[in-house]
Amino acid sequence: MAISSRFSVAVHILSLLEISKNERLTSEIIASSVNTNSVVVRRIMGMLNKAGIIITSPGVAGARISRPISTITLLDVYLAVEVEQQDHLFTIHDKANPQCLVGKNIQHTLEQRFIQAQRAMEMELSQVTIEQIVADLLIQDSDISTYPFK
């Protein structure tokens, strides 16, 4: 089981918007950086807009981040785009055989561990901001002439 790529694409979009904040980036430009279809970018940007992380205007190209990136955590982004996963990161099969020792007890046993794992992941994501991600990106490649990309 894996978290969908929407999460990493959303972080990519936010990082690109921040690094290029003095430019109006269309979904086509952003899609080119992500190397995906602009429809995917618009869908994810819609989720970020709905969550109040970015501001978009219908019929107007571009978006801007709604608040300082030091206040936007990876958990905020995760919760905005992983709609199906917000309740539970892990799912447990529900058709186990109740006549079997393992089958009748596996759900309860795993549920406690999975809840702990999800809380640990959420705690970790809540400690990292988009500001830290952008800083790491800029450290990786200090050639600002390639932004948003060439």
Question: Within a domain: residue 46?
Answer: yes
Domain that holds residue 73: 6-84+129-146
pTM as predicted: 0.83
| SS3 call for 68 | coil
Q: What is the pLDDT of residue 1?
A: 47
Question: Within a domain: residue 99?
Answer: no
Mean pLDDT of successive 10-residue segments in the chain (150 residues)?
A: 81 95 90 94 95 89 93 96 68 82 88 90 96 91 58
Question: Within a domain: residue 21?
Answer: yes
Contact between 127 and 78 under an 8 Å Cβ cutoff? The reply is no
Q: What is the pLDDT of residue 87?
A: 59
Question: Within a domain: residue 122?
Answer: no
Question: Within a domain: residue 114?
Answer: no
| SS3 call for 5 | coil
Question: Within a domain: residue 123?
Answer: no
Question: Within a domain: residue 111?
Answer: no
How far is the C-alpha of 91 from the C-alpha of 123, rounded, in Å? 19
| SS3 call for 129 | strand
CATH code for the domain of 141? 1.10.10.10
Question: Total structural domains in the chain?
Answer: 1
